[in-house]
């Protein structure tokens, strides 16, 4: 298997609310909700960088499709990282997310490793880390040589 991820799917409780947060609040491009004609098919896709897509799909649909019981959401299981080019950009994105309805759980701050980062939760509790890493290029998120 090649180490490649093409879609990250987030389970959501209210698809319309979550689409509004990502599309209207954060400005993520989308064609909106598709698949509503199918009982468990309603989903929204957002184009991200490098061909990656973010999908929002109701938790009940994920449980149905995977045949796994729906459990209580646990936001501490993983984070989505958004690397930016400066401390100021971290502050701007955090403010934009909060204005869109995100809950800031850790305000932006200098990190122990020399970067600058903060965390917010989307309307379904998914954690986003907005981070400036001085060793990474924000455009491709790869380490730069010194």
User: What is the total count of domains within the chain?
Assistant: 2
What pLDDT shows up at residue 123? 96
Last residue of a domain, one of 38, 66, 94: 66
Tell me the residue range of the domain where 54 lies: 7-66
pLDDT at 143 over 60: no
**Distance (Å, rounded) from C-alpha 11 to C-alpha 55?**
9
140 alpha-carbon distance from chain centroid:
17
Q: For residues 36-59, b (16+ Cβ closer than 10 Å) or e, as one string?
A: eeeeeebbbbbeeeeeeebebbbb
**Distance (Å, rounded) from C-alpha 146 to C-alpha 8?**
32
pLDDT digits (tens, 9 = 90+) for 40-99: 999 999 999 989 999 999 999 999 999 999 888 888 888 999 999 999 999 999 999 999
Flag whether 141 is in a domain. no
Note whether 12 and 48 are same-domain residues: yes
pLDDT > 70: what percent of the chain?
A: 94
pTM of the predicted model as reported, rounded to 2 decimal places: 0.87
Note whether 99 and 58 are same-domain residues: no
Q: Which residues, 6+ apart, have CB-to-CB distance to 134 below 8 Å?
A: 114, 115
């Amino acid at each position: 298997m090649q180490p490649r991820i093409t879609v990250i799917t987030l389970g959501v409780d209210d698809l319309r609310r979550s689409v509004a947060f990502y599309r209207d609040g954060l400005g993520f491009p989308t064609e909106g909700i598709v698949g509503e004609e199918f009982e468990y098919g309603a989903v929204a896709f957002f184009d991200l960088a490098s061909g990656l897509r973010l999908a929002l799909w109701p938790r009940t649909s994920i449980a149905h499709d995977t045949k796994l019981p729906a459990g209580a959401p646990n936001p501490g299981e993983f984070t989505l990282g958004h690397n930016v080019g400066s401390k100021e950009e971290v502050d701007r994105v955090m403010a934009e997310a909060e204005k869109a309805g995100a809950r800031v759980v850790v305000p932006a701050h200098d990190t122990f490793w020399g970067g600058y980062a903060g965390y917010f939760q989307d309307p379904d509790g998914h954690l986003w880390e907005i981070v400036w890493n001085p060793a990474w290029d924000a455009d491709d998120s790869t380490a730069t040589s010194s």
